[in-house]
Each structure stands twice: as structure tokens, then as C-alpha cells.
Chain A
Amino acid sequence: MASATAKSAKLRDDSLRFLPWLFLAPGLIIYSIVVVYPMIYSSWLSLFRWDGVAPTKVFVGLDNYVTLLTQNDVFWIALRNNAIWLVAALLLPTSTGLGLAILLNSKFRGSHIFRSIFYFPAVLSLAVVGLIWTWIYHPDLGLLNQALRGVGLKAFTRNWLSDPNVALYPVIIAATWNAVGLPMLLFLAGLQTIPEELHEAAKVEGAGPIRRFLYVTFPLLRETTLIVLAITAINALKAYDIIYAMTNGGPANKTQLLSTWMYFLTYNYNQVGLGTAIAVVLFSLTLIFAIPYIRFMTRKG
């Protein structure tokens, strides 16, 4: 009986047993070869000592990870920089994006133009953003030092990108300029789902703008906020181009991130084992934010 039902279902749509795979095949095959297989192979390679050229690789177990943690000072600098970068990315672009979204969500003349202006840096490549900001930080001719001199704060001028104590922060500011657009866009989309009547009702009850934000807007933006935080964190850990364009990890490796230090170890110093081990560490950090994100994206089944 059961087999009869199955058989009739099969007769109705015999094609569905293999046809979806046919539709999926081109995408799945190229994605598996280009992304998934290399991921797995990288994890495997991180267990070997290898210069990337020699025919034999020496299996060393977790030695590469131990070396990174105990003997590789730059790894710790990079890890610390990644942490600073992450905290900055979770605070600055997100709050700025939220503020702009609330400001620009109300319909007034020109609101669309302002949205475009504030979104615009997000469409530029990080290499270009890095180049533009490098001029702003130029010690003699750059706008920042000129402005500081102009208002009598000459004492604060410095060679922003060559000063080992501060160089990371100007890069983060430049990255923030680029990173504000996405949260702004997502928050604007989230705000549009909040019915106007709720605000009106709160107004009638005598709630001021701050209380309306805290008790009406913000709770209803919870889902958007979580998505924004996850995407921002994942993107922050991917940062690479802008460092390469602005400081190339310098001065004295003080602005290395895990991503750039992986590149240096692998391609400049031929330490493939250490390089792939860093990639695995970076991926593990990403997973902290990515697992809740992916669960959220697949929640509806």
C-alpha cells in the first residue's frame, strides 16, 4: 500500500528525484571546488611544516598553532588589532548607521539625497578608500594635519600612518567611513516595517523622542540589530585590502591583522603551515558570530 502511494507520487513527478540536482549542479560544483574543498584542505595543511614548494610536507600535528601562540609576537599583535578592530566595528558603523537611519527615515525634502551621500562610501572599493584616506593623513599636505594647524592644534599633528602607537586607528576611521552604509541601509529597511501608528500612540501617551526610541523603535528593530551586528562582525574580521593599501602592516608590523599576517607568512616568508594555521584561527573567530547568523538565516526552513 505504502509502496503504491509512493509509486503514484513518483509517477506524478518522476523528474523531481534528479532534476533539482541538475539545477543545482553548476553552482554546487564550482562553489565546492573553489570554496569548500580549499577550506578543508587548508585546515589539513595547517598540521604540516611546508614551504609551499618542496615535494614533501612534514607532519607536525598542532605544532604550528603552538608556534603561533608561543613564539610569534606578530601573531599576538595581529590578534589584539583584530580585537580592537572588531570592537570598533561593532560600535562605530552600527551606531552611526542607526542614527542616520532614524534621522533620514522621516520624509523631508531632500532626504533621498542625504541618504545617497551617506551611503556612497559603501560602494567604493576598500583599496580606493585606503588611497583616498592616505592623502588625508599625509604628514605635510594632508587635510587632517592642515586642519589641526589651522585651528592652532599643531601639537596634535603627527605622521598618522607611520607612528607605531596610533597607526591602526586612522585606518579604522577610514574603514568606518566605508562601513556605515550597510547598517544604515539595513536599519532604514527595518524602520520602514514599524507602523507609524505606534509612534503616534506613544506621542499621545506623552512619550518624548528618547522614550519613543527606547520603548518603541529599538525593541522592534531587535532582529535588524542582530543581523547588522553579525554582518558587521563577520566583515570586520575579513578586513584586509584597506590595511594593504594604507600601511601594509607597518610600521614594524604594528598594524598587522590576522588576515594580512597570514598573507605575509604564506607568500613572503613561505611558511605555509603557519599561514594556514592563522587562517584557521581567523575562521574560528568568525564562527562565533557566524553560527548564530546562519541559524537565523535558515530558521524558516
Chain B
Amino acid sequence: MKQTIAKKEILPGQSKVALFYAALILAALIWFTPVITLILTALKDAGDFARNGAFSFPQSIRWANFKEAWDTGVKNYFWNSVIVTGFKVPIGIIIESLAAFALTHMHFKWADRVFTYILIGLIVPIQMTLVPLTLLMNALGLIDTLAGLTILYIGFGVPFGVLVMRGFFRTVPVAIIEAARLDGCSWFRIFYRIALPLALPAVVSLCILDGVSTWNEFILAQIFLRSDELRTLPLGLVQFSTQFSTQYDQLAAAVLIAVLPIVLVFLFFQRYFVAGMGGAVK
């Protein structure tokens, strides 16, 4: 008798849990439909797509889509994105953390005003800068160069980078820094031997957030890169889509290639996304 009552109590609970998971899995599947569609499209041949549409299993898996997309230009776009991101992120982090360190630990009278001045960059619509930047880049001969684009990315990255690094430097105890000062440690040594190592998680977070946003950037690349062989991935993909508008199979493969590095970073460094955004609102 007792047992049956206990059982009765458990059963509704269990079915509730099952229902909860079923609803959640269904929602997740719907949420992921665009991604699933993308993968299915990349794996089938063009005829299959034309007959059966995007959301059906491929009749036969066609890996050649990836190779064809890669050879049609994605290779170039990919390496351009690697170059720009590879230079922008480390240089950006160095100058951003130097600035953030000065603003948090160097008892600097102007710190608040300078920080506010830097924060303005977070809210400026990029359209506000395009025309003068075009004139400037033209004058410097930097239009249509990856170096010019990288410089712009470094400049636009300063506000967010300073914000995140400042958030973390504030958690470095002042006592440690004062002790180092009393020991005659120079400010620069304190910065790279004490503050930076302590903020290493922040540096990793910022690398990832910054890397992802540089990899994904569109409008500056669109305005300042003119020749096809210099295009970065987002720009190249949109171009690819207008040029080969009916070759969905290859386009989908190209998109997957572009997204793959982001997915890997996301899978391996997921917790840093949370930490980085946390630093930005602290």
C-alpha cells in the first residue's frame, strides 16, 4: 500500500521531467533548424537541392562541394580573414590593456574623463566615420589594403577592449601593486609581471570575443576593400552569393568553411564568452 502511494507520487514527477525535456529538445531543434538546413544543403548536389529543397536528407553525400567552394575563392577570403584577425587581436590587446592598466591602477587624475571619452566609441554608429575615413585612407594610400583595414579594426576595438580589461584590472588587489611599488618595481614591470598575468583569463576572453568580432566584421571591409582577392570572409561570402546565386550547395559549403573556426573556438573556449561579457558590464 505504502509502496503504491510512493510510486504514484514519483510517476507524475517523472512524466513532468520527460515533458520538460521533450519541450526543451523540440525548442532546441526548431532553434537549430537554420543550421541543420545549412549543413544538409552543403552536403547535397545542386540537382538534389533543386528537386527536394533545402530541408531533406541528401540522396548522396557530396563532399566535393567544400573543395569546389574552397577553390572558387573561399581559400583567398579565408586566409585574408586569418591575416587580419591574426594581426588585429594581439596588437589590439596590448594597447588596450596598457590603457586599461593606466586607467585603473596609476592614480591618474584624468582617468574618469579619459574612460568616458573612450566609451563614446562603443555607441558610435560606424556610418558616422565612413566618409572621413575614406578620405583619410585615400590620402594615406591605405584603401584596398589589408594593413589599412587592420589599423581601422585596431582603432574601433579600443573601447570594448579597454572596457573589458578595466573590468578585470579592477579586481587586482591594490595592495599587491603597492607592495611592488615599495619594492622599487617600475610601473611597466608591474604591468607585465603582475597585473597582466593576474588578468590572464580576461586576456583569453578578450582574444576570443575580439577574434570572433573581427572574423565577422562586414561594413568596414565592404567600404575599404575593393579588389576581390583581398576580400575577407563575410564580404566574400555575400559577393559569392550574388555571383553564384543559384549554386546553393557550394554557397552553403562556403558558409560552413567560414563558420568552422568560430564553431571550434566556441566549443573549446565557451566559458570565456561568459567571462568576457561579464567583464564588460562589471
Contact = CB atoms under 8 A, between A and B. Distances in A.
B49 A141 contact: yes
A269 interface: no
The number of chain B residues touching the other chain, given as a range, is 35 or more
Interface residues of A, number: 89
B132 A123 contact: no
Interface string A242-283: 001100000000000011001100110000100110111011
| Residue among A19, A128, A286, A290 with the highest chain B CB neighbour number at 10 A | A128
Interface stretch (B5-13, B64-72, B212-220): B212-220
Contacts of B115: 298
Interface stretch (A64-72, A185-193, A208-216): A185-193
A242 to B, nearest CB: 9
Looking at chain A's contact residues, the main secondary structure is helix
A34 B95 CA distance: 15
Given A127-B234, A131-B237, A30 B158 contact: yes
Interface string B198-220: 00000000000000100111110
B59 interface: no
Interface string B131-173: 1111010000000000000011011101100110000000000
A59 to B, nearest CB: 16
Contact of A244 (B24, B156, B212, B238): B238
A146 B51 CA distance: 12
B106 A16 contact: yes
B2 interface: no
Interface stretch (A85-93, A110-118, A154-162, A197-205): A110-118
B274 interface: yes
Given A42-B129, A290-B123, 6 more contacts: A13-B107, A19-B106, A42-B132, A110-B21, A141-B49, A294-B116
A279 B218 contact: no
Contacts of B31: 117-118, 121, 177
A27 B127 contact: no
Nearest to B241: A131
Contacts of B187: 15, 19, 23
Contacts of A124: 216, 259, 262
A35 B55 contact: no
Contact of A27 (B50, B96, B248): B96
B273 interface: yes
Interface string A127-139: 1101111111010
Contact of B125 (A21, A241, A245, A279): A279
Interface of A: 13, 15-16, 19-21, 23-24, 26-28, 30-31, 33-39, 41-42, 45, 52, 103, 110, 114, 116-121, 123-128, 130-136, 138, 140-143, 146, 177, 182, 185-186, 188-189, 224, 227, 234, 237-238, 240-241, 244-245, 258-259, 262-263, 266-267, 272, 275-276, 278-280, 282-283, 286-287, 290, 293-294, 297-298, 301
25 contacts: A20-B111, A23-B99, A24-B99, A27-B162, A28-B118, A30-B158, A31-B121, A34-B129, A34-B133, A34-B155, A35-B156, A35-B159, A110-B21, A121-B34, A123-B262, A125-B216, A127-B216, A131-B237, A135-B38, A143-B37, A143-B54, A189-B277, A227-B281, A283-B128, A294-B120
A266 B237 contact: no
B223 interface: yes
Given A24-B98, A30-B151, A266 B216 contact: no
A27 B234 contact: no
Given A35-B121, A124-B262, A244-B222, A45 B132 contact: yes
Contact of B119 (A280, A282, A298): A298
A33 B136 CA distance: 9
Given A35-B121, A123-B212, A141-B50, A278 B127 contact: yes
B255 A132 contact: yes
Contacts of B106: 16, 19-20, 23
B86 interface: no
Interface in B75-102: 94-96, 98-99, 101-102
| Residue among A42, A45, A123 with the highest chain B CB neighbour number at 10 A | A123
A126 B38 CA distance: 15
B93 to A, nearest CB: 11
A301 B114 CA distance: 12
B238 A186 contact: no
Contact of B128 (A42, A128, A130, A290): A42
Nearest to B161: A27
Given A39-B129, A177-B34, A24 B154 contact: no
